C-alpha cells in the first residue's frame, strides 16, 4: 500500500447487497421503512439490493450486533441471493465485523464505510479529497484485517489472511499512521488558506445553503443564480463548497452550496469536513433547505440541526426553505413543518415556484441589518459619496452651498469605514 488506500481499491459498484437493520426500543422511526435511507445510500454507491433483514432487539449483542438466530437467517439469505455484501445500518466495531464475516461468509460493512465509499466516488476538489482520505484512513486503521479479507474475496481469493498477510498488515498500519499525520497537516494548510479567502470575501452579505443530503440544495443554487452546479438524485452528490453571486432585486449577496448532512454522521467525518463547513460558520444567513415531500422530513430537520450544533453554527440566523412543494400532494408533513417553523418559505427549485418570494425575503433580512444614517459633509468629499453609493442605498441627497446632505441605509460592516471617511 502506497498512496492509495485499501478502500480506494475496493469498489462496491454493481455488487448485490443485503441490508440489515436492528431497532432498539427507544429508536425514533425514520420514515416508513427503516431501511429506505440505507437502500438509497447503497444505490448511490452503485450497488443493487437483493434482500433486507430486520430485527427488534432489546440490546445490542456485543459480539454480532444482532442476535444469534438473526445472524443465521442473514447467512441463509446471503446464500440464496448470492449477495456479495451485507450492509448494517449502524456503526459496527471491528470485532463485530470480524465475527459477522466469519458466520455470514460475505463482506460485512457498516453505514460509515458505505458513506465513505460514496464520498470517495464523488470527490472532486483537492480539499474534499484530503478530507475524505483522512476520514477513510482513520476508519481503516483498526480494520485493516477486514479490508484485506474484502479485497481478497473481490479478487476471487480464499479470503484468509495468512502469515505473509499479517506482516503486510503491520507494514500497512505504519504507513497509514504516517499518512494520517501528513493529511492532517495538508488539511491544516488548506484550512489556513481558506480562512484568508473567506475573510477577503467579507465585502458581501453571505448566504449559505445547508440541509439534508438530496434535499435539492444544488438545484436551488442553480435556480437562483443560473450557475451550473452538479445535481443528481443520489446522496452526497456535492462534497465541496461552491460560492457564487446571487442578484436580489436591489442587492448582491454571495450564495454558497455545500456538502449535505445525514443523521448519525460519525463524529470524525464531521470533524474532517470542518474546513468545508467553515463557510457555514461565516455566513450571515443560513437557508436550511428541506425536502418537504419526504416522509421523514421532520427527522431530517432535526438531524441537520444536530450537525449545525456540532459545528457551532446553531445560533446563526436561519430561514427554513421547504423545497419540492411541486411533489407534496396534500401531505400532513408540510402542515406539520409549517406549524413547527412559522417563519418559512415554500419553494420548488424545479418549477421555480416561490423563488421570487425567497429572494424578496432574503433581501428583507439583508436590509434589516442596515443602519440608517443622516449625514452632512463637504461636497468636496467625493470619495465618501461614492462609497455610500456603492455600498449603501441612498434615500435622499441634497446639495446646499458647499455641503451635501445624505440619508442612506448601510450595512453595519460598511458603517465604520464610511464614518472614518467623514471624520478624516
Ligand X SMILES: Nc1nc2c(ncn2[C@@H]2O[C@H](COP(=O)(O)OP(=O)(O)OP(=O)(O)O)[C@@H](O)[C@H]2O)c(=O)[nH]1
Cα 112 to the center of its chain, rounded Å = 14
Is residue 208 exposed (0-12), middle (13-18) or buried (19+ Cβ within 10 Å)? Answer: buried
Among 139, 205, 236, 322, binds ligand X (CB under 6 A): 236
Contact 300/323 with Cβ under 8 angstroms?
no
Can you list the alpha helix ranges (DSSP code H) found in 141-264? 144-154, 163-200, 217-225
Could you count the other beta carbons within 10 Å of the beta carbon of residue 386?
Answer: 11
Cell 427549485 -> residue: 349
Distance in Å, CB of 44 to Mg ion, minimum? 12
Distance in Å, CB of 405 to Mg ion, minimum? 49
Interface region with ligand X, contact rule CB under 6 A, candidates 168-176, 300-308, 322-330, 408-416: 322-330
Q: Which residues of 221-242 are buried (b: 16+ CB within 10 A; e: fewer)?
A: bbbbbebebebeebbbbbbbbb
Closer residue to ligand X in complex, CB, 97/213: 213
Distance in Å, CB of 37 to ligand X, minimum? 13
7, three cell numbers: 478502500
Cα 97 to the center of its chain, rounded Å = 27
How, if at all, do strands 252-257 and 242-247 pair?
A: antiparallel
Among 132, 183, 237, 328, binds ligand X (CB under 6 A): 237
Query: Is residue 148 a contact residue for ligand X (CB under 6 A)?
Result: no
- List all residues 6 or more positions away from 323 whose beta carbon is below 8 Å from its beta carbon: 215, 216, 219, 220, 289, 290, 291, 292, 347, 348, 349
Cα separation of 100 and 74, whole Å?
Answer: 10
Query: Is residue 392 a contact residue for ligand X (CB under 6 A)?
Result: no
- 86 binds, options ligand X, Mg ion, none, Cβ within 5 to 8 A by partner type: none
Phi-psi region of 225 (alpha: psi -120 to 50; beta: other; left: phi over 0): alpha
Query: Is residue 327 a contact residue for ligand X (CB under 6 A)?
Result: yes
Closer residue to ligand X in complex, CB, 304/388: 304
How, if at all, do strands 252-257 and 344-346 pair?
A: unpaired
Distance in Å, CB of 327 to ligand X, minimum? 4
Interface region with ligand X, contact rule CB under 6 A, candidates 56-64, 109-117, 168-176, 344-352: 344-352
Query: Is residue 21 a contact residue for ligand X (CB under 6 A)?
Result: no
**Positions 199 through 228 that interact with Mg ion (CB under 5 A):** 217-218
**Residue facing Mg ion at closest CB distance:** 238
Can you list the alpha helix ranges (DSSP code H) found in 60-143? 68-81, 94-104, 111-122, 126-140
Closest by alpha carbon to 131, among 92, 90, 180?
A: 180
Distance in Å, CB of 359 to ligand X, minimum? 16
Angle between helix 144-154 and 94-104 (nearest 10): 30
Distance in Å, CB of 363 to ligand X, minimum? 21
Among 127, 133, 146, 219, binds ligand X (CB under 6 A): 219
Closer residue to ligand X in complex, CB, 149/222: 222
Closer residue to ligand X in complex, CB, 103/326: 326
Cα separation of 81 and 79, whole Å?
Answer: 6
Query: Is residue 214 a contact residue for ligand X (CB under 6 A)?
Result: yes
Query: Is residue 349 a contact residue for ligand X (CB under 6 A)?
Result: yes
Among 73, 326, 367, 370, binds ligand X (CB under 6 A): 326
- 235 binds, options Mg ion, ligand X, none, Cβ within 5 to 8 A by partner type: ligand X
Query: Is residue 115 a contact residue for ligand X (CB under 6 A)?
Result: no
Interface region with ligand X, contact rule CB under 6 A, candidates 20-28, 185-193, 229-237, 416-424: 229-237
Closest by alpha carbon to 132, among 281, 229, 259, 304?
A: 259
**Positions 260 through 319 that interact with ligand X (CB under 6 A):** 260
Closer residue to Mg ion in complex, CB, 37/101: 37
Query: Is residue 238 a contact residue for Mg ion (CB under 5 A)?
Result: yes
Query: Is residue 235 a contact residue for ligand X (CB under 6 A)?
Result: yes
Distance in Å, CB of 259 to Mg ion, minimum? 8
Among 238, 256, 272, 333, binds ligand X (CB under 6 A): 238
The contact set with Mg ion (CB under 5 A) reads: 217-218, 237-238
The contact set with ligand X (CB under 6 A) reads: 211, 213-219, 231-233, 235-238, 260, 323-324, 326-327, 348-350
Amino acid at each position: 500500500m502506497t498512496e492509495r488506500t485499501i478502500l480506494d481499491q475496493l469498489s462496491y459498484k454493481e455488487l448485490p447487497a443485503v441490508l440489515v437493520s436492528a431497532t432498539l426500543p427507544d429508536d425514533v422511526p425514520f420514515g416508513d421503512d427503516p431501511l429506505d435511507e440505507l437502500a438509497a445510500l447503497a444505490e448511490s454507491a452503485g450497488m443493487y439490493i437483493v434482500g433486507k433483514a430486520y430485527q427488534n432487539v432489546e440490546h445490542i449483542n456485543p459480539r454480532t450486533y444482532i442476535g444469534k438466530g438473526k445472524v443465521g437467517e442473514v447467512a441463509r439469505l446471503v446464500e440464496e441471493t448470492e449477495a456479495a455484501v451485507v450492509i448494517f445500518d449502524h456503526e459496527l466495531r471491528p470485532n463485530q465485523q470480524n465475527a459477522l464475516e466469519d458466520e455470514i461468509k460475505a463482506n460485512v460493512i457498516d453505514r460509515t464505510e458505505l458513506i465513505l465509499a460514496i464520498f470517495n466516488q464523488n470527490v472532486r476538489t483537492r480539499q474534499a479529497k484530503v478530507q475524505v482520505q483522512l476520514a477513510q484512513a482513520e476508519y481503516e486503521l483498526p480494520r485493516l484485517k477486514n479490508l484485506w479479507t474484502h479485497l481478497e474475496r473481490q479478487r476471487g481469493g480464499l479470503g484468509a489472511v495468512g502469515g505473509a498477510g499479517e506482516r503486510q498488515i503491520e507494514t500497512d498500519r505504519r504507513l497509514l499512521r504516517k499518512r494520517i499525520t501528513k493529511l492532517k497537516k495538508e488539511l491544516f494548510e488548506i484550512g489556513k488558506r481558506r480562512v484568508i479567502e473567506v475573510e477577503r470575501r467579507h465585502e458581501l452579505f453571505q448566504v449559505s445553503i445547508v440541509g439534508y443530503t438530496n434535499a435539492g440544495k444544488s438545484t436551488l443554487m442553480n435556480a437562483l443564480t443560473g450557475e451550473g452546479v452538479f445535481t443528481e438524485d443520489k446522496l452526497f452528490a456535492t462534497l465541496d463548497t461552491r460560492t457564487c453571486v446571487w442578484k436580489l432585486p436591489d442587492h448582491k449577496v454571495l450564495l454558497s452550496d455545500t456538502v449535505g448532512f445525514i443523521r448519525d454522521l460519525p463524529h470524525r467525518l464531521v470533524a474532517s469536513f470542518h474546513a468545508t463547513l467553515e463557510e457555514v460558520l461565516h455566513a450571515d444567513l443560513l437557508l436550511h433547505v428541506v425536502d418537504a415531500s419526504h416522509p421523514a422530513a421532520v427527522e431530517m430537520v432535526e438531524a441537520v440541526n444536530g450537525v449545525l450544533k456540532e459545528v457551532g453554527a446553531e445560533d446563526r440566523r436561519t430561514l427554513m426553505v421547504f423545497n419540492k412543494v411541486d411533489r407534496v400532494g396534500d401531505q400532513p408533513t408540510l402542515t406539520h413543518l409549517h406549524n413547527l417553523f412559522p417563519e418559512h418559505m415554500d419553494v420548488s427549485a424545479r418549477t421555480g415556484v416561490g423563488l421570487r418570494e425567497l429572494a424578496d425575503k432574503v433581501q428583507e433580512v439583508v436590509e434589516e441589518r442596515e443602519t440608517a444614517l443622516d449625514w452632512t459633509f463637504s461636497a468636496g468629499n467625493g470619495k465618501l459619496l461614492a462609497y455610500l453609493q456603492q455600498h449603501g442605498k441612498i434615500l435622499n441627497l441634497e446639495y446646499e452651498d458647499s455641503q451635501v446632505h445624505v440619508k442612506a441605509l448601510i450595512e453595519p460592516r460598511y458603517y465604520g469605514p464610511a464614518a472614518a471617511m467623514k471624520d478624516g
